[in-house]
Structure 1
Amino acid sequence: MSLGDTYLTVLGWIGSEPDFKEIRQTPQTSFRLGSTPRQFDKTLNGYVDKPTTWYTVQCWRGLARNAFESVRIGQPVIVTGRLRTHEWTDDNGELHSRVILEAFSLGHDLARGTTTFTKNTPRSDSFPFTPTSATQDPADATATPYPPDEFTTTTLPLTAESPAAEAA
């Protein structure tokens, strides 16, 4: 994270079909995200919708591929990213700007439904080359289809222990 950047987490609904393209051989997926806050109105004794805020979300690299294959228009999602301003000048010399949410995390909002997760297989170009790996016999190498998990897990006991055992 850099100093001075604005980071944001938005809960909303996908408002356009995700658009996938490669920019200088880098995958990018973009889509529109609408977020409509609700507020309780005492006079109506109920909730009312406030104005919808629309964001253009951009995902890059692996997130772009996964987002394009996973999310569809109308689905509820949670997006975390950095706000960026894209500025350009049109043919008439007029300056335009657009705020973009550059996502670094995206997922379905599980408070609103269920989803199924499939872990990516590691890319072959993501493993660094070492001279020892080039000289090592491939039969001696062991590999797993997935990289190790970031966190270790501890097995919890399935039976409750008696209070007397805890006191000892």
Structure 2
Amino acid sequence: MNETMVTLQGWVGNDVEVREVGETRVATFRVGSTPRFNRAGTWVDGTTSWFTVNCWRGLGRNVAESIRKGDAVVVHGRVKVDVWEREDQPASVSWIVEATYVGHDLNKGTTLFAKSPRTTTVDTVPDAALREQLHSFSADGPQLNSDGDEVAPASPEVPAPA
């Protein structure tokens, strides 16, 4: 399948909007990208290009919690062109990016990264006995199979759990 991937840098032009599509969350925002070039020793702004960015599932959740209007961002994803015609008017074109990655542009400022918690937790394990057993181990404790039985280490270099 041929898809066009893009990476763009720009500024967030609106607050992130979050909506549910079925049982899936999508966060949407607009990015404006304005080229600058030197004309006879003077820097001049070019025409701003606007992109609608859609972020699905976990990326959408993280974007909604992290990105604000006015932030400098870098976006990578699949680009689509949406063209529609209205009666007695020229065709309108909208550029839509289905984001794969979104981050702050660290050329423009600093940010602080906080790792998201896993979406599946021990509390979602249906069996109460297994859940209790899982809670009894520390984060670096033994590996368990789906039945809650301890699994031997994969290689001899790794010491067995005490």
Question: Could you tell me the TM-score, scaled by structure 2's length?
Answer: 0.70
Q: 1:85 deviation in Å?
A: 3.4
| 1:144 matches 2:139 | yes
SS in structure 2 at match of 1:144? coil
> Structure 1 137/29 Cα, relative in aligned 2: closer, same or farther at 3 Å?
closer
SS of the equivalent of 2:59 reads: helix
- The answer to whether 1:62 aligns with 2:58 is yes
Distance in 2, Cα, partners of 1:138 & 1:125 = 10
Shift of 1:46: 2.3
Change (3 A) 1:134 1:103: same
Task: Give 3-state SS (helix, strand or coil) of 1:5's partner.
Answer: coil
SS of equivalent to 1:105: strand
Note the 1:6-155 alignment, pairs <5 A.
6-41=4-39, 43=40, 45-86=41-82, 98-124=94-120, 137-138=130-131, 140-141=133-134, 142=137, 144=139
1:4 alignment partner, SS class: coil
Cα distance change of structure 1 residues 143 and 113 upon mapping to structure 2, 3 Å threshold: same
The number of aligned residues is 135
Cα contact 2:50–2:95 (8 A) shared by 1: no
Aligned match of 2:153: none
The letter of the residue matching 2:29 is F
Consecutive unaligned residues of structure 1, counting only runs of 5 or more, are 146-168
CA distance in 2, matches of 1:117, 1:33: 21
1:48: Cα distance to partner? 1.1
Matched with 1:160 is: none
Q: CA deviation at 1:116?
A: 1.1
The AA in structure 2 aligned to 1:34 is: G
Question: What is the TM-score of this pair, normalised by structure 1?
Answer: 0.68
Share of identical aligned residues, percent?
36
Could you report, residue by residue, the CA deviation over 1:86-128 in whole angstroms, capped at 9, with x for unpaired residues?
46788x7x986633111010000111111111101111279xx
Query: CA RMSD of the aligned region, Å?
Result: 3.1
